[in-house]
Amino acid sequence: MVGRDFLYYYDRFILGMVVSFILVVLSFIYINNRKNLKRSESIVLFVFTLFTTIPLNATVCFCLIPELFIFKGVFGIIVIVMSIPLMYATLVSAEEIVVGLIGRLIWPHQKRFFD
């Protein structure tokens, strides 16, 4: 099975991106309005980002699955099984860093994690 062109998945990718962006913005608004989360915004944002970025990450990973079918047989299955969680983790890590940096710029004064 040969990988398809990225344009084939473009619509789903854009939908996933828009949904995730809206959810992230809503999470920022929610955290800003809750007084009991004051000075702990980064931690709450970290957890919220894990869930709000699911649409985008899921569409990207499912776009790339057909590309990974270039490898056939047992080797191909091992690569796919190990690559997809790693790919998902890479995307989550990058998004957490970007959202966390934006959160830190908006709310610079935070309590330490072990306080």
Partner 1 sequence: MNYRSTLEFGKVPGMMRRVARIMIEGYPVTLIRTKNTRKKRIVAAMMNMILVTAFIPVFVLGVYLYSTEVPPRLDWTILKLLEDFANNHVIITIAVSIIIPFIIGVVVHELGHANATRACKKGRVYEYGVIIGLIPAFYTAADDTMITGPYARLKKLQIMCSGVEANLFFAGIFMVLASLCRETSYFFMNCADMQLMFVAINVLFVKGFDGDKVIRIILGMDGKQNETIEIKKMIRSKRYRGILLSQGMVGHMKLITCYVVVFFQLLYPVLVMLNIILLGGMFLW
Binding site for partner 1 (CB under 8 A): 36-37, 40, 42-44, 46-47, 50, 71, 75, 78-79, 82-83, 85-86, 89-90, 93-94, 96-97, 100-101, 103-105, 108, 110-114
CA neighbor of 103 nearest in space, from 34, 50, 25: 25
CB of 52 to partner 1, least distance (A): 14
Nearer to partner 1, 1 or 86 (CB): 86
Cα torsion 32, 34, 35, 39 to 10°: value is: -50
* Residue type, position 95, single letter: E
